[in-house]
């Protein structure tokens, strides 16, 4: 009986992880598209990022990814 409960919980969690991974991938693709648009619009902005003060430079966001790893849960962070 307990094994069935644990198996069900595991399958639900794994399903949710796959859904989150899919949504994450969509957001990653969207981010790349936005970055390309921003890069293309730079010449029209009149703002030279090289001359901006250091405290106004955009900070680099942390990059996270979900990668299949062959373990029982199927993904690593």
First to last CA, the chain: 32
Q: Which pLDDT does position 73 carry in this prediction? A: 54
Q: pTM for this structure?
A: 0.52
DSSP 8-class letter at 47: -
Structure-model confidence comparison of residues 11 and 74, the more confident one? 11
Report yes or no: 69 and 76 within 8 Å, Cβ to Cβ.
yes
Does position 64 have pLDDT exceeding 80, yes or no?
no
Q: Which pLDDT does position 46 carry in this prediction? A: 76
Q: How is the chain split into domains, by residue range?
A: 2-45+62-76
Q: How many CA atoms lie within 13 A of 3 on its CB side?
A: 0
Section 14-25 average pLDDT: 98
What does the pLDDT look like over 37-58, one tens digit per residue? 999 999 988 766 555 555 555 5
């Amino acid at each position: 009986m307990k094994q069935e409960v644990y198996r069900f919980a595991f399958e639900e969690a794994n399903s949710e992880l796959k859904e989150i991974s899919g949504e994450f991938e969509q957001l990653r693709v969207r981010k790349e598209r936005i970055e390309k648009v921003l890069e293309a619009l730079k010449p029209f902005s009149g703002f030279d990022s090289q001359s901006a003060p250091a405290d106004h430079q955009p900070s680099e966001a942390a990059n996270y990814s979900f990668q299949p790893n062959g373990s029982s849960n199927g993904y690593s962070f």
